[in-house]
Amino acid sequence: MHRLLLALAACLLSACSLLSPYSHMTKIDLQISATDSLNPDLHGRPSPVVLQLIELRHPVAFEQADFFALQQRPQQILSPDLLALQELELRPGEQRQFKIAAGPEARHLGLIAAYRDLPNTRWRIRLDVQPGARNQFTLALDEHGINQQQPTGEP
């Protein structure tokens, strides 16, 4: 009888997760860390960097546009592919975690970083998002730009 109750409880719990509107959402777990040498100024001193996180339907306009167009006119440059945009500042040595519930049409997450030395840094990165799944990304920002790393933590 005890086993039957446990089996019934397990079935009910799994049915709840299947019926939940959140079970099919696209989730993005994003870990971003900045090194102590982030975005050096003319004297080699580290400086904060402004990041934009951009949810996209298609990446073509994002990948073809220059930095200043993306930073100053994202709605014009990325329309109709722009779904959401968030801006933040990251300081040297800082670590941030984001849990993003992406829109149902989101297929890519683009990031741009306002580095002082744009021609010599990797200021843009595109992450491909699997719809309806939990997507985990780990990024490191240093004096050379944005780099994707293997996710840490839970699988």
Find the mean pLDDT for residues 3-28. 59
Residue-range domain boundaries for the chain: 24-149
Q: What is the pLDDT of residues 35-83, one digit of tens each?
A: 999 999 999 999 999 999 999 999 999 999 999 999 999 999 999 999 9
- State the Cα torsion 147-148-152-154 to the nearest 10°: 150
Residues contacting 23, CB < 8 A, separation 6+: 17
Name the pTM for this structure.
0.80
Give the fold, CATH level 3, of 24-149.
Immunoglobulin-like (2.60.40)
